[in-house]
Amino acid sequence: MLTKSPMNALERRSVAALSALYCFRMLGLFMVLPLLALYADDLRGATPALIGLAIGVYGLTQALLQVPLGMLSDRIGRLPVLLGGLAVFALGSFVAAQAQTIEGVIGGRLLQGAGAISSTIMALVADLTRDEQRTKAMALVGISIGLSFALAIMLGPLLASTGGLSLVFNATGGMALLGILVLLLAVPRVRRVATHGEVGTVPALLWRTLVDRKLLRLNTGVFTLHFLLMAAFVGLPLVLEQTLGVSRDHHWKVYLPVLVASVLGMFPLIILAERRGRLKLALGIGICSLAASQLLATGALGLTVFCLGLWLYFTAFNYLEAALPSLVSKSVYAGGKGTALGVYATFQFLGAFVGGAAGGLALQLGGTSAVLALCSVVAVLWLPMALSMEAPGNLANHLVRLPADRQRAEAVLGRLRAAPGVADMLVMRDEDTVYLKVDAELFDSELLDPGRDLPGGPIPERG
């Protein structure tokens, strides 16, 4: 059996630095989320529709450039793409900070989105970690995203109360520059850039990923989830200030306890899905909670009911935000995880763009009640698609490195093809790698041990 080992010092340093880098960048993007609907109204030319566009427009350039920049980093190296992306993100932040018009803020947000480095960061994590540590490393980086969201919702209103949107955007640019320092001083250098089927996008697999029905349902789901995130934050801050009379300087006092409570609210859904095997029920409860939350958050029934609606919203969002990428990993064919997650991220950012634009238009046409009604309707429309999804089986992903000797590599492939429990298998000759999707109950994990004997002696481990 393969033994599990802890991360070594290089891996711990790499993951800590890259998690911090990811957190700095996402913190800057999230901080303006509860603010633009409130503060952008003071900009020249501002209309509700244009403010909604400013909220979501970064998602357009993120969606267009995420996969291409990840593929570019495979060719020219991670460092140039990351440095360029952070510099562009900082430039966009400073442009938005100096803007006196809503068009200037939209331009700055477009530039922020053009610093699309998420997939490159994840690829660098893969470069700097061993195969058996990669899933753990990715999870730790993912946790930094959740932390950045919670911090942003609190810090954004605090900064804006002191210096308005300008201070928030300048702080965002400063964090991007700090990220450059972290990249140059704390992230270990990669001697050789590798293409990882688990992380990087494989062009030959793009079409297969786009037409896969299971993945299409999940991609539509994350599009909808981030549509709801951006559209809701076109209306919710305005309800707090205009309907409930909560000063914008004190909005963080509402968001913070609700966010903390929402983390606790996730656990029953996680237990229902993972321990009791009721995945569809957990998804259905999450989506219905999103729809109900918008109706409770209109402000018509007072601040307590608004906070209940906000708690339902954050609980459902946090659960679904964690569950959907996990389902992508479980549902994707062997070797397609990186490509599938790249396409998934593209749909996610497209949802943010469309949600911000649609929320702004709804606000202009019908006020905050129209925005929240739109969100409820979209959530209800998502429900039947989510419930029609097939629950993934008890399948696990494994990676096997092929021996350098071609004859022995073929022997390994023959052994794996004949093994019970192998549901899918993809051989990547250019990576000297085999990606497996196996039934965890039937597959003998000892077959993954490169030192196990075959006729002719043990399989040499590739260095």
Number of domains composing the chain: 3
In sequence order, what are the beta bridge partners of 400?
Answer: 434
CA 208 – CA 161 distance, rounded (Å):
49
| Domain co-membership, 240 together with 383 | yes
| Domain co-membership, 217 together with 358 | yes
Tell me, what CATH number does 334's domain have? 1.20.1250.20
| Domain co-membership, 245 together with 383 | yes
Assess if residue 347 is contained within a domain: yes
| Domain co-membership, 70 together with 212 | no
Instruction: Look up residue 349 and give its DSSP letter.
Output: H
Please tell me the least confidently modeled range out of 64-73, 423-432, 443-452: 443-452
**Between 231 and 402, where is the model more confident?**
231
Assess if residue 122 is contained within a domain: yes
Q: What's the gap between Cα 324 and its chain centre? A: 10
CA 399 – CA 418 distance, rounded (Å):
17
Final residue before a domain boundary, out of 193, 213, 241 = 193
pLDDT at 431: 66
Cβ neighbours of residue 132 under 8 Å, at least 6 residues apart? 2, 4, 5
| Domain co-membership, 313 together with 229 | yes
Assess if residue 28 is contained within a domain: yes
Residue 62 has pLDDT above 90, yes or no: yes
SS3 assignment, position 460: coil
Whether the model clears a pTM of 0.85, i.e. scores above it, the answer is yes
Assess if residue 2 is contained within a domain: no
Assess if residue 1 is contained within a domain: no
CA 277 – CA 141 distance, rounded (Å):
27
Rg (CA), the chain: 23
pLDDT at 222: 94
Residue 194 has pLDDT above 80, yes or no: no
| Count of CB atoms situated within 10 Å of the CB of 237 | 24
Q: What is the mean pLDDT of residues 365-386?
A: 95
HSE (CB half, 13 Å, CA atoms) of 66? Answer: 26
| Domain co-membership, 151 together with 165 | yes
Angle between helices 279-296 and 303-331 (to 10 degrees): 150
* Per-residue pLDDT reduced to its tens digit, 92-128: 999 999 999 999 999 999 999 999 888 888 888 888 8
CA 352 – CA 231 distance, rounded (Å):
8
Assess if residue 421 is contained within a domain: yes
Containing structural domain, residue 87: 8-193
* Per-residue pLDDT reduced to its tens digit, 430-448: 667 888 888 777 777 666 6
Q: State residue 298 phi and psi, 5-degree precision.
A: -70, -20
Q: What is the mean pLDDT of residues 215-223?
A: 94
* Per-residue pLDDT reduced to its tens digit, 249-293: 889 889 989 988 998 898 899 899 888 878 889 999 999 999 999
- Is beta strand 433-439 parallel, antiparallel or unpaired with respect to 422-428? antiparallel
pLDDT at 165: 93
CA 114 – CA 359 distance, rounded (Å):
22
Assess if residue 118 is contained within a domain: yes
| Domain co-membership, 367 together with 242 | yes
Final residue before a domain boundary, out of 193, 218, 245 = 193
**Between 227 and 273, where is the model more confident?**
227
Task: Judge whether 106 and 44 are in contact, CB under 8 Å.
Answer: no
Assess if residue 3 is contained within a domain: no
| Domain co-membership, 269 together with 406 | no
| Domain co-membership, 381 together with 241 | yes
| Domain co-membership, 155 together with 283 | no
* Per-residue pLDDT reduced to its tens digit, 294-350: 999 999 999 999 999 999 999 999 899 888 888 887 788 877 777 888 899 899 999
| Domain co-membership, 145 together with 32 | yes
Tell me, what CATH number does 419's domain have? 3.30.70.100
| Domain co-membership, 140 together with 226 | no
Cβ neighbours of residue 386 under 8 Å, at least 6 residues apart? 217, 221, 280, 283, 284, 287
Final residue before a domain boundary, out of 359, 392, 425 = 392
CA 70 – CA 64 distance, rounded (Å):
11
